[in-house]
Chain A
């Protein structure tokens, strides 16, 4: 069982569609990060959220941290083929000195 559960695991959509990826846990996190990884490369940090209820926007990407700091979502508006990749949420559990990654959501945006 993963400490961070991501859904969906796979997502295949057409260019221009909107999508939301979820990251859920029963644990409280001090902070939570979202990464994007392309095949054969290292994950690249997209955003860090630290405050419950926080919303951050990065162009067409909107990230939200749950009020209780147990969950997060990533919303992409008008997806483009360049958004294709593996999206990973990750975080450090509050008062517990370990960092966890979710299992990832593999996104494919078709032109």
Chain B
């Protein structure tokens, strides 16, 4: 158990819909990262937050947005969903100085 929690574990929805994925970091970790992993693909970095502020941005679509709240949990919002958005979405958290990332169990999103 990494100490990072993600909800829900599974999500099935239809094209055009909007969903919110939630992540709670390990106790004491200030950074939260979001990744997308499509079938048989590597991890694609989406975005990082540090103590409530956006820190780094990867290949995140404009239809996707995220935020980190004062209690440090984070939400990833996916809107106008397309079939190609079906994937595993992972959250990870870390703290300096090493900033090693610890991953949650992921949310499997299926868009029908």
Contacts and interface: CB of A to CB of B under 8 A. Distances in A.
Interface of A: 2, 31, 33, 35, 40-45, 48, 50, 88, 90, 92, 97-104
A45 B105 contact: no
B42 A33 contact: no
Given A42-B90, A44-B103, A90-B101, A101 B55 contact: no
Contacts, number: 55
B48 A99 contact: yes
B53 interface: no
A32 to B, nearest CB: 10
Interface of B: 2, 4, 33, 35, 42-43, 45, 48, 55-56, 58, 88, 90, 92, 98-106, 108
Contacts of A103: 42
**Closest 5 A/B residue pairs (Cβ):** A42-B103, A103-B42, A101-B43, A43-B103, A104-B42
Contacts of A44: 2, 103
A99 B33 contact: yes
A13 to B, nearest CB: 20
A97 B33 CA distance: 13
Contacts of A35: 103
A43 to B, nearest CB: 5
B105 A41 contact: yes
B56 A50 contact: no
Nearest to A48: B100
Given A45-B101, A99-B33, A40 B45 contact: no
Given A40-B108, A41-B105, A97 B45 contact: no
